[in-house]
Chain A
């Protein structure tokens, strides 16, 4: 009788562990960060299944806000957008560092991300993919464009494009000799910087062909030659470079803007085991290389570039010499409420004639 009870509980325990170990991971991420082949390997190795939803920073936050942090088990917003969202909406839960294989992650990046994503004493983010925004230039037609403000030059009038979003404000501010990141904590100083940038962007407006919205859109504009210089992401430039050697990513004189996309756990995520399994899996050097080859950006994995294609490395090195790397302006965490100021500025630029 007693033996039977033990056997039954053992069976139940066995069943429940398999139930726990095979979970469905609902991943909210960027396009290219979860390639099919990586998912297949992960599912084979762990027994979890992965459902991918691709999105961008703002939509990730909006989605999680709408469900109070539910509906997804792992999300990948940029590190500068985490603390303010956590402060306002409480949509994440802290990372349990004991479950992360920290040795796989480059220590400096791990530390920087931890610092930037700490809120109320808890760490909310782990670094994954990093990259920069800068300039994509058709060097045959607009080699003179080397900095953000050069987009306003008369020689490229009507053939220029950028987004009407916060990176544009930041980039122009740096290139105008201002330091917006230093002013983050001081709303009035920041407002002053924004006003100068607003004047510049308004003056620059006739030069712009269109404000681009999606990555495909700006690539099409550059590929067709309708736009010869634009502010955009580095990967876009490298992808275009593969088709047309004239077009490539240029790190602006004022410095490329560096971002790190992270791993965060939504507060009401259900499959934490699968989430940690995924983090530890994709930070392996071989898997990290696979992701870099599809996404075009490098990862925070130790030796993550070991199996990255030679062409991509060459393009990266072509855009960034050591000085340019040192000059990258890494986004610090955005204080809550700053976006409202930026929004008003962007609206006014949009409405200006």
Chain B
């Protein structure tokens, strides 16, 4: 066995009658890691997950778990377990029966089932609830029971299909941390799909950004955030200001773009460097924008501009200011540090903004 990865997908493709849901996707998930697939709804991530679980058959490509091909293996024979979007706990059974279901199918003796169910419930922090009904549990408890039901089977890979989607915000924030802790506790490979970037960023060791059936980029949270591979990733992961315009100058990897409104920006092209005259997009994170009450020296600060405060969106440490360029009319979102200098910033005030071209990312516009 050459690969140590728990889960390997090779050129996995799934065609439906009139469209391709998953398009030549390849990736590896090492043992014990938390792997997220992040993408907007309809990007094919659910189809991909269902292929891994065995509910759908790939049109082409191969799928290996612990080095063994799973193409001809039915869902009930694969060493994977899945936590469903709405958890799919069996309402006709109590908690003990729910968790023991998989063990019963394997013909484990009743006494051992009882013992193992008790143990897994302890590990998810819900000891002694075997005799309760599903309807008697809170949302977070159900979540943990659903995970326990899978983990009691000691699967090689645990698949999670947006299981936090149905929870309220507060509980969701809490469960993110808890899921990560459970993954560490069980030391099992988790494959998690979500459309919520903050879930993916917080929990994952590695994230794949999926769009239109393809993986645009696989990397750590930091890599995706700071080194997005393309315009889609830059726009989808984290907040960003986006500019589009014509390339007027190229200096090494620094590209100068002139927008429709007449604004001139410089940005760093890390992937393909566009040529002069091409259309290009630039992305700047709000926190990369530097604010000042005094003008920046335009010679040393090519991205400096005078702005008017359009509104201030106060959100504690995550507060932002929406700025408007009086010349081009373009708006800009800038992180507003809640420190002394800008504390009293109000609507209509004049302010100067600037960012370092190295912190702005430039991509050739799509279709070029």
Q: Do chains A and B touch in the complex (CB under 8 A)?
A: no
